[in-house]
Amino acid sequence: MRRPVSLSLTLIATAVLGLSACKRVEAPAEAAAPQAPAAAAKADGAPDATANDNLNAVLWMQRAQEYRAITEQTYRAAADHLDVALKEAHWDALVPEERGNEAKGLKPAVVLDVDETVLDNSPYQARLVRDGKEYDELSWDQWVAEKKAKAIPGVVDFAKAANAKGVTLLYISNRAVHLKDATLANLREQGLPVADDSVFLGLGTVVEGCEQAGSEKNCRRRLAGQKYRVLMQFGDQLGDFVEVTANTNDGRDALLQQYHDWFGERWWMLPNPTYGGFEPAQFNNDYSQSRHRAPLPLRDDERLIFALDVPDRVQALEWVDRLGDSVAFYKIGMELLASGEYFQVLDELARRDKRVFVDLKFFDIPATAAAVIKRLAQWPVSYATIHGWHPAMMEACAAANSGDMRLLAVTVLTSMGRPDLAQMGIDREPVEVVVERALAAQAAGIDGVIASGQEAGPIRAATGAGFSIVCPGIRPGGPVGDDQKRTVGVAQAFADGADAIVVGRPIRLASDPQAAAHAIQQEIATALATR
């Protein structure tokens, strides 16, 4: 049985610094450094927790003698089998479905996956751990361009031995084809034989007459088989050897059983504890389950968000000075964007230790919206809004959000009632539409919604705990006859399940704005104490 291990803070800090000793991937020049993840509260006597659930996996790959022993013995054992594979004319490591022609008489080759099979990317994983981020294509491409990945222990000796016997090494990788030059340069620098550029078959390689599903490699293996007799395959995922048509635990178990005898002879598996196809199999490939973050950890005084609806930077910062410590969270929206000073204000708020809510209600084709979210996640933003009308766009945005930012889906604007919806062809009560869109956002992996406090209760009942509800249109003194149609008071919003409220005019138009904000803060504290 594995005993719990508590690493001292000194050891962890030293290890992480060592793991990420390579040059840090810098954010683009216009992006400020993202906020560090908020520290989770720890109860007295609770064991120390690692900063990231991938930390021990990365440490094991970089520091454990057991890891090196496994990889070295795998490649050494494979080298011992090479002569047998070469002499047996019908020996082939491609499954029959991927062998479209006779293998006998073809030139011998070995197929190797690249990442965590040939090249060690644990320094990249360490950066993600250190910075509290997840994988994204931008940081990955930057890492590959550095060409600093080291060879997996044992692979160079095996590759040179195979090459000396006239065996071609083919690199079938899910690195995209545009990363070919950097990848081949990295392989050569590490001493791996590279016959020519054609030996790299990256993601995006076109194989005529073969339909490839996602990142599966079956078509590229078939392409390799047209020219070569594949003696062995090496990888760190089941999909590196055979097409995984059902990525479930049962489906993966069936593949392992079907090809049990191939492992250790034709197929050679390397250990990879940091990522893999086994992860989505645990939640039936419903990525919305894995994408959901815990709600933003808010102090009570951060549950009041002031709508900084002003035309320029000067007025924005005047309001921040005027409100002082009565407001710790600011929403910046469309009006300020038109000034051309939007990100200067965002940066200044962050420097003053204020949380920032970017309320720009992004709505575009999925690829464009996702690209915006990916860039915005590099800024110190706590909340950002997207429209909640397009499931594919929401899914793309959720997948692109690699930082600490939480995404909120706009359901129905608080300035709209049933007649407004009817004019849009939606002849339903707002609450029905809001709850429907909240559930769609939750299914897409979005962190929460922005909705009227009138719908906070139904949303909470439908989505359960852990889904953020932020309510604008709050009127502490009751309705005032402005353009907000679906309003509630402070206490009602929190009683019904709101996590935070957005208040603008009731503070901005008050004779003493700071006193008005303090009064709302007190009402929030009372509401939280009684719910």
Q: Which residues are catalytic?
A: 359, 361, 364
User: What sign has the CA pseudo-torsion 186, 192, 196, 200?
Assistant: negative
Q: Which stretches within 205-248 are classed as H helix?
A: 218-227
CB atoms within 10 A of CB 324: 10
* Residue 484 annotated in ligand binding: yes
Q: Which of 83, 116, 119, 67 is nearest to 265 (CA)?
A: 83
* Residue 80 annotated in ligand binding: no
Dist. CA 468–CA 161, nearest whole Å: 57
- DSSP string computed for 134-157: ---HHHHHHHHHHT-PEEPTTHHH
Q: What are the angstrom distances between the C-alpha of 211 and each of 204, 207, 224, 230?
A: 12, 8, 15, 21
Dist. CA 3–CA 336, nearest whole Å: 55
CB atoms within 10 A of CB 448: 26
* Residue 105 annotated in ligand binding: no
Name residue, tokens 């194989």.
207
478: alpha, beta or left, given left = phi > 0 and alpha = psi -120 to 50?
A: left
What is the rounded end-to-end Cα distance, in angstroms, of the chain? 43
* Residue 331 annotated in ligand binding: yes
* Residue 63 annotated in ligand binding: no
* Residue 62 annotated in ligand binding: no
Number of helices and strands (H, E) in the chain? 22, 15
CB contact at 8 A, 171 and 118: yes
* Residue 477 annotated in ligand binding: no
Dist. CA 245–CA 252, nearest whole Å: 9
SS3 373: helix
Q: What are the angstrom distances between the C-alpha of 179 and each of 25, 112, 175, 202?
A: 17, 17, 6, 8
SS3 for 237-298, per residue?
Answer: CHHHCCCCCCCCHHHHHHHHHHCHHHECCCEEECCCCCCCCHHHHCCCCCHHHHHCCCCCCC
**Binding site members for substrate:** 309, 331, 414, 475, 484, 504-505
**Binding site members:** 309, 331, 414, 475, 484, 504-505
